[in-house]
Structure 1
Amino acid sequence: MSLDPRAFLRELFDTAIAAAHPAQVLAQHLPTDKGGRTIVIGAGKAAGAMAEVAEKHWKGEVQGLVVAPYGYGAECRSIEVVEASHPVPDDAGERVARRVLELISGLSENDRVIFLLSGGGSALLALPAEGISLDDKRSVNKALLKSGAAISEMNCVRKHLSAIKGGRLARACWPASVYTYAISDVPGDEATVIASGPTVGDPTTSADALAILKRYAIDIPANVRAWLEDPRSETVKPGDECLSRSHFKLIATPQHSIDAVAAKAEAAGIPTLILGDLEGESREVAKVHAGIARQIRKHGQPMKAPCLILSGGETTVTVRGNGRGGRNAEFLLSLTADLKGEPNIWALAGDTDGIDGMESNAGALMSPCSYNRALKAGLNPLHELDNNNGYGFFAELGDLVITKPTRTNVNDFRAILVLENDK
């Protein structure tokens, strides 16, 4: 079989991104009833691209305001697209959140709100709850990002510190009809977790948020603790009347992208093993992938080479060192350290939004030569892993994967290509 592993893995990554792009998935889901006043709002890494699609395909009058991360904007005529900071909120995100609430205030039951939601929306619509400053939210958010907390845990805390999340946006729209179209970036595709669920009921409690902060030993200001102990901090719960006119639709998920990649690989004669959406420490998830790849290469179990191992989801990184790198670079660095140059195993890991953590790369690529090339360059993979320096490691090898912002987000993509042993 004649195959360029580098080019093939990059082509698969591009396929995963394309399968989740708003241009491919949004238009067919928009409401067919065009009567009444329509307001489009949105937040997330795909919000700008989603606004373009909504404006293009909506035949009636429309106005709106959406927020996307810096570099993810769009040019629309009737829908204003504003850029703000992600993953740590900034003043621009707070200002646009206030403007969104003003835009949807005073609506009637004859009005319609189209809410375009994708990963990143939680940080971008950053309106703190009463008595909490944006600096308070930023400090808690930064601590959570470094703690190793799962995305569901982080969003539980965020919801209870927000004036918009946890169903509060739907309450602000009431009694208008709300149509939320979401691109999922979370394992399990739970509506309550995607961007902290602004238009759906939230089953978690303020007590849960306090327990998470305690679990990860995150020190919080007295005013934040006081708010979380106040009954007013509770989010909108499932079954609340204000949710009766709120409709939620998933239009793209990590599984959609994984399925598209699997179909492309199998069309090229490469069978796939799909492990699904995974969570956990990046370095530990990598060890499991390494074990599976090694078993395939040496023993043909659970399938024979050539084959492709696929997984998605969102891993975490507990920051211990001072290096640079997101969770995908950390995954690949751990994989490299574990495989130690095992022949015929190639891998690519990247974030489908084009940004791995807070770096300029989407991810990186590992070849069977990466381990020995690193040692020759004076890089010890285990030492670099201890320093959380995945970006620096793969930058030195020239193996970063750079896409620039993709304007969508279905979370992490991991592909391990196991080729046949040399004859």
Structure 2
Amino acid sequence: MNPQGLLRQMFDAAIASAQPALCLPPHLPTPESLGRGRLVVIGAGKASAAMARTLEDHWSGPLTGLVVTRYGYAVPCHRIEIVEAAHPVPDQAGLQAAQRMLELVSSLSADDLVVCLISGGGSSLLPLPLPGLGLQNKQDINRALLASGATISEMNCVRRHLSGIKGGRLAAACYPARVLTLLISDVPGDDPINIASGPTVADPSTCADALAIVRRYGIDLPPAARQLLDSGAGESIKPGDPRLARTEVRMIATPQMALEAAAEVARAAGLAAHILGDALEGEARDVGKVLAGMALQVAGRGQPFSTPCVLLSGGETTVTVRGTGRGGRNVECLLAMGIALDGQAQVHAMAGDTDGVDGQEEIAGALLSPDTLARAWALGIKPLEMLANNDGHGFFEALGDAVVTGPTLTNVNDFRAILIGTP
């Protein structure tokens, strides 16, 4: 198999390992365990509709529910209502879905069970602001956070303290019912509070923490938002709150699991596979340079690994937007890697987002080969200028090296693979 075909096969295996139909059923309750109560299904995220469909397929008893997912990610369900909304900048459809979700769980009894299906993207899909803020405020703050270079955990800390549904508030609204949250992680470290900004888990961070992040990145908040943080009125649900005493959280798919699935594909092709980490963070272009440095050491000196081999990594990089290009973080990382590799022979790479959307483009990522820079120069494309303009998508699309998957119906964060040597 050619190197690019093998890289794509690894990416596909990573995505397949996190499909709800595979990873959700072992964690579902049984109708017998419910007793005389009702089952209510709620959820949000890019994988939530596929999760809802899997739950329906495996649940023989009655149920009701509401799940919100990204436009284009809906999966038909018979008993659970699926709503589509905007991501990464929220819209009115997401706001209305969040309001209805709170209403749905507001009058439950201690006999009832809420199954909450959460995956990456839920923060933008449940944009219910606290009193005093409007949807436009949430949209502006979200755009500022996305362009600031803040990490995903920092962005979610700010979001939680300006939200009427995140930071444990959704679980508190379900009380006294039991709440079982099933999570597909898209964040470094797999901390539940950072997956969709933790609508059903206790939040140890504070309004003061959110304010510090706002100051750190120079984010201009509207007066009402700053007042919520300054006064402490935006405080989230804290550990030990009795309304969360009957909640349980289970992680059903993670970036590490996806990388292990990709490693199995590499080994089946006769390659050594090394997972560098599932939680790499930092400025995308800097991460790309570091990964290139590691690849050059392996290719040139056989250290710390001999060739042929594959270096795998996951996590979530950030991009501080300075140009006017199309993004996104995976292609920015890959372009910086390619520039640093400078056409190194027998080094191929791929970077992509497992949800099929890198940044705001319907493009998952791209492929890099030893002749990438030469082909770009032949077309009059200047790699350094494209990187400076944050236009990784424009760069790789012009070369025909973009990777388009369509909606993958899951999300276990970024995927990077560097193939060194001949497979």
Do the structures match in fold with TM over 0.5? yes
1:378 is aligned to: 380
The farther-off stretch of 227-236 and 379-388 is: 227-236
* SS in structure 2 at match of 1:196: coil
2:120 is aligned to: 119
- After superposition, what is the alpha-carbon deviation per residue over 1:256-295, rounded to whole angstroms, capped at 9, x for unaligned? 0001111221121100121112000010001111011101
1:23 and 2:24 are equivalent in the alignment = no
1:34 and 2:39 are equivalent in the alignment = no
Alpha-carbon offset, residue 420 of structure 1: 4.7
Q: Within 5 Å, give how 1:11-410 maps onto structure 2.
A: 11-32=9-30, 33-35=33-35, 36-276=37-277, 277-410=279-412
For the 8 Å contact 1:39–1:63, the answer to whether it is kept is: yes
For the 8 Å contact 1:34–1:60, the answer to whether it is kept is: no
TM-score, scaled relative to structure 1: 0.98
For the 8 Å contact 2:34–2:112, the answer to whether it is kept is: no
Alpha-carbon offset, residue 244 of structure 1: 0.6
Q: Distance in 2 between matches of 1:269 and 1:402?
A: 27
* SS in structure 2 at match of 1:229: helix
1:27–1:420 Cα change, 3 Å: closer
2:2 is aligned to: 4
Q: Distance in 2 between matches of 1:420 and 1:44?
A: 39
Q: Distance in 1 between matches of 2:154 and 2:301?
A: 39
For the 8 Å contact 2:47–2:409, the answer to whether it is kept is: yes
For the 8 Å contact 1:52–1:74, the answer to whether it is kept is: yes
Identity %: 58
For the 8 Å contact 1:34–1:59, the answer to whether it is kept is: no
Q: Distance in 2 between matches of 1:420 and 1:162?
A: 51
Q: Distance in 2 between matches of 1:372 and 1:232?
A: 56
The residue type paired with residue 360 of structure 1 is: E
Give unmatched runs, 5+ long, in structure 2: none
Q: Distance in 2 between matches of 1:205 and 1:9?
A: 42
Q: Distance in 1 between matches of 2:232 and 2:384?
A: 47
Q: Distance in 2 between matches of 1:210 and 1:356?
A: 28
Alpha-carbon offset, residue 105 of structure 1: 0.7
- After superposition, what is the alpha-carbon deviation per residue over 1:49-79, rounded to whole angstroms, capped at 9, x for unaligned? 0000011101210110000000000111100
Q: Distance in 2 between matches of 1:361 and 1:108?
A: 44
Q: How many residues align?
A: 419
Q: Distance in 2 between matches of 1:121 and 1:240?
A: 23
- After superposition, what is the alpha-carbon deviation per residue over 1:218-271, rounded to whole angstroms, capped at 9, x for unaligned? 111111111112233110011111111010000000000001111221121100
* SS in structure 2 at match of 1:346: strand
Q: Distance in 2 between matches of 1:137 and 1:25?
A: 33
- After superposition, what is the alpha-carbon deviation per residue over 1:336-386, rounded to whole angstroms, capped at 9, x for unaligned? 111111110000100000000101210000010101111111111111100
Q: Distance in 1 between matches of 2:234 and 2:300?
A: 55
Q: Distance in 1 between matches of 2:272 and 2:262?
A: 11
RMSD: 0.9
* SS in structure 1 at match of 2:408: coil
The residue type paired with residue 258 of structure 1 is: L
The residue type paired with residue 34 of structure 1 is: L
* SS in structure 2 at match of 1:232: coil
Q: Distance in 2 between matches of 1:221 and 1:152?
A: 21
Runs of 4+ in 1 over 6 A off after TM superposition: none
